[in-house]
Chains A and B, each alone.
Chain A
Amino acid sequence: MNLTLRIWRQQGPETPGEMTEYRVSGISEDMSFLEMLDTLNEELILRGERPVAFDHDCREGICGACGMVINGQAHGPERTTTCQLHMRHFDDGDTIDVEPWRAGAFPVVRDLMVDRSALDRIIGSGGYVTAPTGSAPEAHATPVPKEAADLAFEHAECIGCGACVAACPNGSAMLFTAAKVVHLNVLPQGAPERASRVRNMVETMDAEGFGGCTNTGECATACPKGIPLTGIARLNREFLRS
């Protein structure tokens, strides 16, 4: 298929960017969205132009590196990561807008690449269990009810891609923060730091410039891993009880 792409090009955080139009042809419907961009980049390199910069690594939907706003939607029309979005979801002749994550806390590095290190700092402020290597008791010493383990897992699936922040009209990181707080706070191993964890992480989230939550729910709709919106309710409950 043949497509028209309108891609956000921006040299660096301090320079202004703009949408630039490109045409690509011979795109197979079995290609992933990133493979379609690879095709464009191969052409750009041969023309001596700078290829479009974007983050990507595993290309199987788990590392969380890739992410772009496609036709106004974080990760595009399917509920998946950009690397797992296939061109069969587009039609020949389509015009596709491609932009980076837009959020105050995610400065653009170049083109479609943004700086998401604020998410790392939220984790560093409390998204862990203090368990230095070697100090662990026998694994079966503390049974964990299957329901708690499953609930923890459901939230632990977050890949840290930042789609929730990009989709939120307020640029809020509530779903991301909730995912880690719920994962650790429902487990007995996370109980001793339950209160300090949620307080510190919420405080860091605010300090990093993420917006507040107004229960729009766009985050959970965009999340490629299906982190539930109820996670935010649980986060609020944890915060209040702390």
Chain B
Amino acid sequence: MSYLDYTLGEPVADTAAPAGPIEQRWQQRRFEAKLVNPANRRKHTVIVVGTGLAGGAAGATLAEQGYHVVQFCFQDSPRRAHSIAAQGGINAAKNYRNDGDSVRRLFYDTVKGGDFRARESNVHRLAEVSVEIIDQCVAQGVPFAREYGGLLDTRSFGGVQVSRTFYARGQTGQQLLLGAYQALSRQIAAGNVEMHPRTEMLDLLVVDGRARGIVARDLVTGEIRSYTADAVVLATGGYGNVFYLSTNAKNSNATAIWRAHRRGALFANPCFTQIHPTCIPRSGDHQSKLTLMSESLRNDGRIWVPKAKGDTRPPARIPEDERDYYLERIYPAFGNLVPRDIASRAAKVVCDEGRGVGPGGQGVYLDFADAIARLGRDAVEAKYGNLFEMYERITAEDPYTVPMRIYPAIHYTMGGLWVDYDLQTTIPGLFAIGEANFSDHGANRLGASALMQGLADGYFVLPPTLNDYLGRTKLDAVPADHPELTAVEAESADRLNLILAVDGDRTPDSFHRELGELLWEECGMAREEAGLRRALARIPEIREEFWRRIKVPGTGEELNQALEKANRLVDYFELAELMCLDALHRAESCGGHFRTESATPDGEAARRDEEFGYAAAWEFTGTGTAPVLHKEDLVFEHVHPTQRSYA
């Protein structure tokens, strides 16, 4: 049976959210949740993998509550998780601007922005919790931007018409992450969190049907060993690096969530990947990653290309009436602030027409001349100074005098492990938070909502639901010589040894580039059936070649970065296959998933709610064998699905 012949399994549904009015569900859920006596909490060990916004916040909060937390990150310090690179801001329904914002509106915007592929009850809770996040972060000393009166400043972001985004210059992610890291550091110093840096999760331990720990590798010594616990929380981020070139950090990877998927956790909507419209275009084949320019730049920058094809004049020599400010022209109400997927596809369309700028015609201008004329150079510098500096450093061009060149790049993955309202996966005792889950953003995430979701999950949502799980579940200790532990440890070590034993003639990066280019071509900004079938035929061939030709020098019993890369690639091959299959099966366009066959006459994404108004949760059945599809029907009681319009 071919990989493409997936079968339909039983539907999957969230049974954790209480019924009743949506505004009261979260309160009701917390009230119904079992509590664990504070004196008993220290008897429970919880493993948290990852120290980004979600993991850092969760580890700190659980330790504050009295749990014994054992936490892991592959970086040398928990402060370096990739949340740190988020630039623009964090949304919250504070309505400090008195501009008509509310929890209801943030909920509405998020469901609509996600193109009606998210679960209403989860999104409503996210909007409710958003206001507490700002309070929490301010109390930690996060230096948000402020007005002269001492109150918090906000700005607006793509896809919304209110000003609800809190920010710390262009380094909001850094400042929020350091807040969580500092809270976590306090707990590490107090002995409540046992921190394992430079340690990477290789597999999940499932004992008697419940997640009871992980197998991890010490990246310095190469030692592989088991860690057991009463519950496991994955906060390991998204899988954008499957594309090789993305805005993700180089070492961000999918191994933790993919290994959990192989052990039985359903993986939902893998084809929902987000392309960010404002990244610095690639400069050559040596490119190792792409750098994002915050979307907040679209507040003041105007996007344009020449009206004529193949116009290679420098931008300053192209007169005003020969420029096409295409977003302002096509979407007059939202202009340059349309959601990310729309802005990205529009850029691809004008470049495909031959009107792109810069090397290879793979770029569009983001021009600040009008903003500088209107606000003055100083005001623009105060807002975006560090971004302009970063741009100049990379491209050697001065954006104060020459328009920036930007092009879309893979940035975020909405898909991830399927979770219920409690953020629990289909493996009892295994929770997934932040970008690692599929929960809140549907088919497209709005700007400044990733930070909001990561912190919501870590600070406020997971702690009470995890309490409930531990309070309700009687767990016996897992003995250190349990056969499952030794078996999974051996399996993990075997896989590394198999890679080392090939001793071929191609590097891990050469395979990763090849896989990434294939995905970008066939499962990137626009997807169509023929291309997806090509990719699905090609991926197993690359995988087969990998196992014949991979070369990794050194051993597994030492620090070996090439081995780390190769091991992550093994999971990327399988994940890439599932992404393409998911994209192939979803014969509609929605959010970040654009199927060229499903477009409106004017080229916009056309959803097909009747057939595809569900989340696709996939069950693993073996490498290269057809997975089983479980559908979660999405019910919209509050936000009526409409074709998105930003015109």
Contact = CB atoms under 8 A, between A and B. Distances in A.
Interface stretch (B99-107, B149-157, B540-548, B610-618): B149-157
A34 B509 CA distance: 14
B393 interface: yes
Contact of B141 (A49, A57, A65, A184): A184
A48 interface: yes
Given A38-B509, A128-B185, A136-B136, A58 B84 contact: yes
Contacts of B553: 44-45, 48-51
Most chain B C-beta atoms within 10 Å of own C-beta, residue among A110, A139, A146, A149? A139
A28 B551 contact: no
B393 A84 contact: yes
Given A65-B76, A137-B139, A183-B143, A30 B182 contact: no
A48 B551 contact: yes
A50 B509 contact: no
Contacts of B141: 128-129, 152, 183-184, 187, 189-190
Given A63-B249, A117-B197, A45 B390 contact: no
B145 interface: yes
A28 B185 CA distance: 41
Contacts of A78: 393
Interface residues of B, number: 80
A132 interface: yes
How would you classify the secondary structure of chain A's contact residues: helix, strand, loop or mixed? loop
A60 B139 CA distance: 29
A123 B80 CA distance: 14
Interface stretch (B15-23, B202-210, B284-292, B595-603): B284-292
Interface in A23-74: 28, 30-32, 34-35, 38-39, 41-42, 44-46, 48-51, 53, 55-65
Interface in B491-537: 505, 507-510
B143 A156 contact: yes
A124 B554 contact: no
B416 to A, nearest CB: 21
Contact of A140 (B57, B151, B288): B151
Contacts of A190: 141
A3 B82 CA distance: 32
A135 to B, nearest CB: 7
A115 interface: yes
Contacts of A145: 146, 150
Contact of A133 (B60, B85, B181, B286): B60
A114 B280 CA distance: 31
A58 to B, nearest CB: 4
A235 interface: no
B186 A124 contact: yes
B394 A133 contact: no
Contacts of A124: 185-186, 188-189
A1 B463 CA distance: 55
Contacts of A159: 174
Given A189-B138, A189-B140, A133 B146 contact: no
B134 interface: yes
Contacts of A157: 171, 174
A20 interface: no
Interface in A115-173: 115-117, 119-121, 123-125, 127-140, 142-146, 149, 152-153, 156-157, 159-160
A30 to B, nearest CB: 4
Given A57-B251, A88-B396, A131-B139, A45 B182 contact: no
16 contacts: A28-B283, A30-B286, A56-B250, A60-B291, A61-B390, A64-B77, A65-B75, A120-B77, A121-B189, A124-B186, A129-B182, A133-B60, A133-B64, A133-B463, A134-B459, A187-B143
Interface of B: 57, 60-61, 64, 75-80, 82, 84-85, 94, 96, 132, 134-136, 138-141, 143-152, 168-169, 171, 174-175, 178, 181-183, 185-186, 188-189, 197, 220, 249-252, 283-284, 286-289, 291-292, 390, 393-394, 396, 459-460, 463, 505, 507-510, 551-554, 559-562
Given A139-B135, A143-B150, A152-B143, 7 more contacts: A30-B284, A35-B286, A39-B286, A58-B249, A109-B559, A143-B151, A145-B150
**What 8 pairs between A and B have smallest CB-CB spacing?**
A143-B150, A124-B189, A136-B139, A128-B182, A131-B139, A136-B135, A153-B143, A124-B185
